[in-house]
Chain A
Amino acid sequence: MSEITPFLKKLLTLPGLSAYEDPVREAIATEWRPLVDELSVSRVGSLHGVRRGRGTWEGKRPGILIATHMDAIGLMVTGVVDGLLRVTEVGGVDPRVLPYQPVTIHGRRDLPGVIVQPPESLLPSNTRGKPVRLQHLLVDTGLLPEEVHELVRVGDLISFATQPVELAGETLAGHTLDNRASVAALTICLQELKRTAHPWDVWAVATVQEEETYAGGYTSPVDIHPDLAIAVDVTFAKGPGVSDYRGFPLGKGFTVGYGANVHTAMFTALKDLADEMDLPNHVEVMPNQSGTDAYPMQVVEEGIPTAIIGIPLRYMHTPVETVSLKDINRVGRLLAEFISRLDDHFMEKICWDGK
């Protein structure tokens, strides 16, 4: 198993729903503190770590921002009925994967519980045999109704509580590997950079609220003013339910995003480097917007040349997301090498139509 596994597993056991990322942010900060020169928290809660470059420049030293969102999808309490909770979603949740998932309810104290599907006789008669809608699912804490009414109120958050598990072929399954897998990859990058001189400033950023509003992706570049930005996020792996071009083989390399959300020169630079390093990779065509932090970052202020690296993951937005540790390591190495090669001529390559 990879050296990053214990840290990644720890990230998967910490809550951090969109807009409430504090618990996971603290764990990331602890890991990053020895790897960066300065750490700060943005006004919306994103974590910024900077490693200062060694290069000497006439003006401001150029910088690159690597964004990995740290927020998780989950649920929120909308009502308490007879000691059971009614819920809505935070981020895009498929109600069909919810029945009988273990959860933690963040009430006046953290309570274990389980999402349940009421018996058919208690549901609308025209939904027999169909997936139970989110508004009809309940959460049971096993507590007596009076205790529940004391400890839980509308607006309380609910996190998935599935424990991560290592599967065959150096893969890891659990909830919220979207996108803590990428946080782990960025951490590997920082570890590598500690052993390497790099002329540019490197901003490692764990963004907030990607699953809801991209609030982190829109705001961190304003604080940082990077010259380049890369979003690292998970993408679809081939497997049950995914067989077409939108999926990539699990554990057989990362993806380099290509499309309107990516600066073509950035794509080429990353793709060429990956090939040169013999790191297995795939071109991921993104016909429209990418659904990553690259989408907001590209249009911050006067615009930023942006790229996207994807880590293939099975069963996205379920509590059994599955990812390859090999792919995570490969992304960490690619990023570190890319960053260490950034010099005073690199920006000349970032142009359109070869000019």
Chain B
Amino acid sequence: MSEQQAPLLSATGVTKSFAGLHALTDVDVTVPRGHITAIIGPNGAGKTTLFNVIAGSMPPDSGRVVFDGTDITGWPAHRVAGAGLARTFQLMKPFESLSVRDNVLVAAFQRGTRRDDAIAAAEEIVERVGLGRWSGQLAGELPTAGRKRLELARALALQPKLLLLDEVLAGLVPAERAPVMELLREIRAGGVTMLLVEHVMAAVMALSDEIVVLHHGMVLAKGTPEQVTRDERVIEAYLGEELLIAES
């Protein structure tokens, strides 16, 4: 039972610097099972670096990352993914010479299923994220919104326990955000835990159970959306400006 209550992901004391520049200092983040946790903060606060450390793209200088009871600190990216932690990239990275469906198929193959089953699974996910009409088109020809969805589709095809989403809403016009947010709610309803980095505050407020605020590579505040938005330090460092933009 205690296994169920333990957080799905916990990063403790994560520190990372680049050529003497502190990108992350002693950062603690825990993601409870079934929750959506959001990381917010100004540009350069270290959000993507934290993602990269968790997902295995770069090892931390110190600190530990424990996922589903296993210490995955310093594991290479492909092993982390194999353990059930899928990520999307802020700067989309489609396999440009493969069709949209085959992009997702690469991920669907990870389940070790037969080719026909993997193709069926990939097609189902392509439909689900609303890319059905582009299924046979080369991924390199998709516009931004389509590429964002493709990132999501590939990550979903891994059937992950934890989904790391790096700004899936950024770059979308408001009309395009609503269906993606709806999709994220559906995904959570399906039992997938999520950790997101997001700039679109309206979405963060609507989606997340818990928010972690990063500032200068340190955790400035944590709590429910209500707690965080009332926090003086957060407003001063980040939110004041963002909320104004969101409201305008």
**Is B truly associated with A?**
no
| B residues whose Cβ falls under 8 Å from a Cβ of A | none
